[in-house]
Amino acid sequence: MQQLMKSEVVVGIADMKIVQGGDQTLATYALGSCVGVCIYDEVLKLGGLLHAMLSNAGEEHDNPYRYVDTGLAAMIQSLRVKGASPARMKAKLVGGAKMFGYNVTMDGDDIGSRNVRQVRTVLRQYKIPLITEETGGEMGRTIRFSLENGLVTVLRADKTQKII
């Protein structure tokens, strides 16, 4: 009997994808100071993954998914359009590392920390609970988000793995 392979949908940097179905997995690679935000509606097995680079879009921007504020708003709206209930949405957050010591802003803050704070702020505005996170540190991460069960597998650059 042939085993069915899960379908993996790759989310690039400054990108967002939404998929539905238990045989689907969303994946993103090379999360350093960037953040990966997974939002899941377990009843519909519908989820989205955003790979955002910076916290705020400001006045003009060419790609809403490059930024946490506009990217999360767009992902939440897209999930709603596909039938996800705001009352059932739950979020997981990965990334926001302080990489190589050079991604410090003018005020001394690092980009990863700003991204993490902005995710928390936007999720609070939309009343979506952040149920777990794997953030900070000085190491890159890859994530795989299973739509079968909502679990996120985090593979760290040091080859350690954690399931959240």
Domain regions of the chain by residue span: 13-20+29-140+147-163
Contact 114, 97 (CB under 8 A): no
Mean pLDDT per 10-residue segment, the chain (164 residues)? 68 97 91 97 96 88 92 97 95 91 62 96 97 94 96 95 96
Give pLDDT, residue 61: 74
SS3 labels along the chain? CCCCCCEEEECCCCEEEEEECCCEEEEEEEECCCEEEEEEECCCCEEEEEEECECCCCCCCCCHHHEHHHHHHHHHHHHHHCCCCCCCCEEEEEECCCCCCCCECCCCCEHHHHHHHHHHHHHHHCCCCEEEEEECCCCCEEEEEECCCCCEEEEECCCCEEEC
Give pLDDT, residue 62: 85
Contact 74, 65 (CB under 8 A): yes
Amino acid identity for residue 117 in this structure: R
Give pLDDT, residue 5: 52
Kindly list the catalytic residues.
Answer: 34
Q: Which CATH number fits domain 13-20+29-140+147-163: 3.40.50.300, 3.10.129.10, 3.30.1330.200, 3.30.750.24?
A: 3.30.1330.200
Give pLDDT, residue 162: 96
Q: What is the pairing mode between strands 24-31 and 35-41? A: unpaired
Dig out the tokens for 135 from the structure: 């953030």
Q: What is the pTM of this model?
A: 0.91
Q: Tell the burial category of 68 from Cβ atoms under 10 Å away from its Cβ (0-12, 13-18, 19+).
A: buried
- With tokens 């916290």, the residue in question is 55
Interatomic CA distance for residues 56 and 68, integer angstroms: 6
